[in-house]
Amino acid sequence: MNVRSILSAAVVAVGLATFAHADVTGKVTYEGKAPAMKKINMQTVPACAAQHPQGVTEETLLVGKNKELANAVVSLKNPPAGGKVPSTPAVLDQKGCQYHPHVLAVMIGQEVKVKNSDPFLHNVHGLPEENPGFNFGQNNVDDGRPIPKMKAAEYFRVKCDVHPWMAAQFAVFNHPYFATTGEDGSFTIKGVPDGSYDVVIWQEKLGEQEAGKVTVKGGKGELNFAMKPSEEADARSVNEKVLTLSAEGVSTEVCCENEKAAAPAVAKK
């Protein structure tokens, strides 16, 4: 085989390799009329309120003007084998007396750090059922403190014991083929090998819903899905805890369910 033939074969091989993996993209929307999010009253903690002169609302079900659904986690139900743990740490920040991001998706074994961008005390209290728990304070600006690496797939809640309106959700997977939707409802699952996959989408108020199949071929994979409200989700909305902060700075819980009952269900592996 001459040099030209070798080079041509190499070019073909590179082209095939390029299309062996692709990004799965799409958009998640909400079906129906979205409920208005409750306003959060931070006035009893002036350092928090000062960072939100326009006010702030809860983030449990964020729906845009065109039904775009934020903070939904899209994942492959039957992922291919061999996915590697992301080398970049996942980061949960505490800024403006809120957790950022509101939903943090991570892989088992991935490094996870918790930051504090506020120059005053916060507390991060994880409530997993299958993974190591964590509960510690950060009393000033902190560039990142590691928490134990996750060991099992599940969804669980994180709260702040100092500011009771603060809450985030962790979504833990045993593979790297997942993504969280942005404010425009869009998502990108990177590096998916060619094939056909079942897709599930989880959102803290709507639970986990089957989104159908996506076929990855020729460097493309796309899926759009509208999440539906359910009776179970509506019941959780009615019975959820109302958290307030008294003038003395003491946390008060009004209404109904205990922490365990209010926590999201364990993720399907």
Beta strands in the chain (DSSP E): 21-30, 73-76, 90-95, 98-100, 103-107, 112-116, 122-126, 134-138, 142-146, 154-159, 167-173, 178-180, 186-193, 195-203, 207-216, 222-227, 242-245, 251-254
Confirm whether 267 is domain-assigned.
no
pLDDT single digits (tens) 193-237: 999 999 999 999 999 999 999 999 988 999 999 999 976 545 444
Contact of 140 with 161, CB cutoff 8 Å: no
For the chain, the domain total comes to: 1
pLDDT value, residue 219: 84
Range of the structural domain that residue 83 is part of:
23-230
Question: Distance between CA atoms of 23 and 188, rounded to whole angstroms?
Answer: 6
Contact of 138 with 93, CB cutoff 8 Å: no
Burial class of residue 11, CB neighbours in 10 A (0-12, 13-18, 19+): exposed
How many helices (H) and strands (E) are present in the chain, helices listed first? Answer: 4, 18
Q: Is 13 left (phi over 0), alpha (psi -120 to 50) or beta?
A: alpha
Q: Does 253 have pLDDT greater than 50?
A: no
Burial class of residue 243, CB neighbours in 10 A (0-12, 13-18, 19+): middle
pTM, 2 dp? 0.79
Confirm whether 15 is domain-assigned.
no
CATH number at residue 146: 2.60.40.420
Confirm whether 28 is domain-assigned.
yes
pLDDT single digits (tens) 254-265: 333 333 433 444
pLDDT value, residue 11: 42
Confirm whether 54 is domain-assigned.
yes
pLDDT value, residue 265: 44
Confirm whether 64 is domain-assigned.
yes
pLDDT single digits (tens) 136-185: 999 999 999 999 999 999 999 999 999 999 999 999 999 999 999 999 99
- Tracing tokens 């001459």 back to the chain, one arrives at 2
Nearest residue to 94 via CA among 159, 16, 38: 159
Burial class of residue 112, CB neighbours in 10 A (0-12, 13-18, 19+): buried
Q: Is 162 left (phi over 0), alpha (psi -120 to 50) or beta?
A: alpha
> What pLDDT band is residue 45 in, cutting at 50, 70 and 90?
confident
* CA 24 to centroid of chain Cα atoms: 17
105 to each of 63, 101, 130, 171, how far by Cα in Å? 19, 10, 16, 5
Tokens found for residue 237: 């909305």
Q: Return the SS3 of 266.
A: coil
Q: Is the dihedral of CA 48, 49, 52, 53 positive or negative?
A: negative
